[in-house]
Amino acid sequence: MKKLLNRPDDVVRESLEGLALAHPDLLRVSFDPVYVARAGAPVSGKTGIISGGGSGHEPMHAGYVGRGMLDAACPGQVFTSPTPDQIEAATRAADGGRGVLHIVKNYTGDILNFEMAAELCQAAGIEVASVVINDDVAVEDSLYTAGRRGVGLTVLAEKISGAAAEQGWPLDRVAALCRRVNESGRSMGMALTPCTVPAAGKPNFELGPDEMEMGIGIHGEPGRARMPLATAAEIAAHMTEAILGDLPFRAGDRVIAMVNGMGGTPLLELYLVYRELERVLGGRSIAVARRLVGNYITSLEMAGCSITLLRAGDEMLSFWDAPVVTAGLRWGA
């Protein structure tokens, strides 16, 4: 295992210490239990928003803590759900008196632990609403998941819900908006290589030198098919058609599009995939209104990419454009 670390057991804590040192203006990190809170949180009178999940997907979620996005994040160990006490502490840190939205990716461990934490918080008088993100069209059930997995759309849901909360929306409306994002978006990913969880010390699956995994999960869960390596044009067409057919998207739709790198893919290649994506969408008369190209929800050093499309009207676009100041996403301020 070739990684920049000290002891595998200390990776998450030491990385979070680095995050705190690097962004004292944006966030603070607590270690017992572990959570990351926006500087100055809780913001009095604002609906709080938290998310969390296993580490190894950076910048998600701690990199999205800050103005206009998340009030707190609870990172678990690598590819491991955060514990209920972490989630509870993050919820308390985010509660400005108007309740807290939990944005939860659909993995069994995350769902159970967020539910348990929500009950604890509600018993303590904090209003909690939960939205489960399940945007991955690749497979219906999966390792760690009943139903569809939550992947790239989570980033878009956090941005858009975060903007609405920042503008003063109450919890029920922010939660409804977040649900609408989940209903209006779809994703799919693929991998060229596996990745290595530090504590495991060896790759999480194997791929032949001319193979790729189409429909990969963000923890290396199997996808739809192991296929011979194809061109970027073929890969983008395969994923995009699967996404478009599922919602379904229609001619005339406007979308927010994300081409996301899994962690080990050069930006040179991601922009090339974005070119292919726009070609497919153009052929279907779907207009890209906004886009992200880069590493936003990763799987350690896995090579590969995912595509997320969100059908967005004026309201979602205006929340998308609103200022955001986080380590991982920043514009307009």
Please tell me which residue in 23, 57, 61, 102 is annotated as part of the active site. Answer: 57
Q: Got the DSSP string for 171-233? A: HHHHHHHHHHHHHHEEEEEEESS--B-TTT-SBSS---TTEEEET--TT----SEEEE---HH
Determine if 168 is a binding residue for a copy of itself (CB under 8 A): no
* Binding region for a copy of itself (CB under 8 A) out of 40-48, 52-60, 93-101, 312-320: 52-60
Distance CA 24, CA 12 (A): 18
In whole angstroms, the minimum distance from the beta carbon of 174 to a copy of itself comes to 26
DSSP state of 7: -
Distance CA 279, CA 295 (A): 21
Element containing residue 75 per DSSP (H, E): strand 72-78
Under 8 Å between Cβ of 290 and 186: no
Determine if 76 is a binding residue for a copy of itself (CB under 8 A): no
Nearest to a copy of itself of 85, 301 (CB atom): 301
Under 8 Å between Cβ of 151 and 158: no
Query: Which of 164, 192, 218, 255 contacts a copy of itself by CB under 8 A?
Result: 192
Distance set, CA 248 to CA 242, 244, 286, 292 (Å): 9, 5, 12, 21
Greatest alpha-carbon pair distance for the chain in Å reads 55
Distance CA 284, CA 307 (A): 16
In whole angstroms, the minimum distance from the beta carbon of 312 to a copy of itself comes to 17
For residues 272 to 311, the per-residue mask of contacts with a copy of itself, x marking binding by CB under 8 A and - elsewhere, is xxxxx-x---------x--x-x-x--x-xx-xxx------
Determine if 34 is a binding residue for a copy of itself (CB under 8 A): no
In whole angstroms, the minimum distance from the beta carbon of 211 to a copy of itself comes to 9
Determine if 263 is a binding residue for a copy of itself (CB under 8 A): yes
Distance CA 223, CA 239 (A): 12
Instruction: Indicate if 219 belongs to the active site.
Output: yes
Determine if 232 is a binding residue for a copy of itself (CB under 8 A): yes
Burial class (CB in 10 A: 0-12, 13-18, 19+), 123: exposed
Nearest to a copy of itself of 115, 269 (CB atom): 269
Phi/psi for 20 (5° steps) reads: -65, -40
In whole angstroms, the minimum distance from the beta carbon of 159 to a copy of itself comes to 15
Determine if 270 is a binding residue for a copy of itself (CB under 8 A): yes
Determine if 14 is a binding residue for a copy of itself (CB under 8 A): yes
Q: How far is C-alpha 271 from the geometric centre of its chain's CA atoms?
A: 20
In whole angstroms, the minimum distance from the beta carbon of 30 to a copy of itself comes to 16
Nearest to a copy of itself of 241, 271 (CB atom): 271
Q: List active site positions.
A: 57, 219
Residue ranges that bind a copy of itself, judged by CB under 8 A: 2-6, 11-12, 14-19, 21-22, 55-56, 58-59, 63, 78, 192-193, 209, 212, 229, 231-233, 235, 263-276, 278, 288, 291, 293, 295, 298, 300-301, 303-305, 330-333
